[in-house]
Amino acid sequence: MSMSISQSSNGYSTIVQLQAHIDGRSHRLSHVGPNEIILVEPLAIHPGPVSVDVIIDNHRQTYQAEITASLPAGTTQTPHPRSP
């Protein structure tokens, strides 16, 4: 997901992308939080690893988490961070 934000003189970011990688496929996210991700499109999710990319102005930060329970499509997912 890309969204443009007007750049101001104080240096705010202009391009933000949010993606989740689940079962070998990439999915756009509308929101991320410390304990949840919200997918743009409804998707049934099964337990397993998830990788979340937060890309701001082409600088990527990737977070690893674990989905611990199956959820039906349209449910807000709460992944649990993996221990290092």
β-bridge pairing 37-39 and 48-56? unpaired
pLDDT (tens digit, 0 to 9) for every residue of the chain, 84 residues total? 444 444 545 667 678 899 999 989 999 998 888 778 888 888 888 888 999 999 988 899 999 988 887 776 766 555 555 555
- Note the pTM of the prediction, 2 decimals: 0.69
Provide the number of structural domains found in the chain: 1
CA neighbor of 45 nearest in space, from 11, 25, 70: 70
Domain that holds residue 18: 3-81
